[in-house]
Structure formats: structure tokens, C-alpha cells
Amino acid sequence: MSTRTFVIVVTLLSALLAGTVVGGYLIWSRTDQGGTAMIGGPFTLVDQTGRTVTQDTLKGQWSLVYFGYTYCPDVCPTSLSVMTFALEALPQAVAAKITPVFVSVDPERDTVQQLALYHQSFHPSFLMLTGTPEQVREAAKAYRVYYRKAENDSATEYLMDHSSITYLMDPKGNYVTHFGHDVTADGMAETLKKTVGG
């Protein structure tokens, strides 16, 4: 194993562990008086077509929300593939009620054009969102998402450490549940069928 490969593997494992621990802490440490997790809130971003998308765009639909980046070598494409396969496994009437959402934590590289290319690899109903660094920060803050650029000498070739959690939000924008990185497509589909189609 080369030094570069070793560094990438260690960074990915560290990011996954940090994301699981930090993500879990942020979910359960931020609750309202009724014990409901305070996940979600106002944001303004743009999708892969250049259209402005806000939290109100998602109102009326269930949504699966995941934060990552298109240059992610493993964790992100795996999570988005799980979402894709889960939606494909659902009855069409149930899948039509759910909007999968990918929010980039790497706005410097994830332009509208880059997201449009990435979109081709996953479910066609995906909203893929980016924005200014400040807009992305506000969205990540609303969803209690951890991310940071991994230390690297290159301005264009770097990894992002980030939590790997998929949130299920109801049609009013309220947090319902979340899926960890270890969820299977079948497991996610079963939960969605019971929650959304029930």
C-alpha cells in the first residue's frame, strides 16, 4: 500500500468515525423541550439546474437529506446509491412522495455544472444543492452537520471530513428519523414504506 493510499484510508476511517460520533452527539444534544431533535431549518441554495432552493421548496414532500461532496471517493456515493436503490425498491406511489436531497459541503469544487454531472449517476428525482460557503455553512448548521476540509497542501485535491447521516424529514420540514452509514437499501426502504406509505 502506497503512502498516499494509506493516508486516504486513514482519513476516510477517521472521517467516518468522527461523523458517526459527532453526528450522533449533535442530533441528540440539540432537542426541544418535548425531546424532539432540532434538525432542519432555513437555508437558501441552488440545485443542479441553477434553480434557487429553500426549505420551503421541500414543503409538502417527505425528504431524505444527506450532506457530502462529489469528490468523495467512497462514503458519499455509497450513501447516495443506497438512497437510490431504496427509492427504486418502494412502490411508485410511495417513492413519489419522497425527494432525495444531496447538499455539498465542498462548494469550492461542487459547482452547478459539477452537480449536474454527478446527478446522472443517481436517482433522477435527486435535488443536488450547492451555494456560497456561507450558505452551505448555514444549511449544515440547521441540520447539525459536521464538516471540515482535511489538511492538504493542494488547493484542488483534498478530502472533506464530514458526518455521514441521512435524515428523513416530514412534509412540514420536521425531523422524523435518521439512517447511519451502515443502513442497507432494503432496511431504508422498509422504514420508508412504514413511515411514508403507512
Binding-site residue positions for Cu cation: 72, 76, 162
85 Cβ neighbours under 8 A, 6+ residues apart? 185, 189
- Residue 118: Cβ-neighbour burial (10 angstroms; 0-12, 13-18, 19+): buried
Phi first, then psi: give them for residue 178, nearest 5 degrees.
Answer: -145, 160
User: Which residues define the annotated binding site?
Assistant: 72, 76, 162
Cell matching residue 140 = 449544515
Residue of 12, 9, 37 whose CA lies nearest to 25: 37
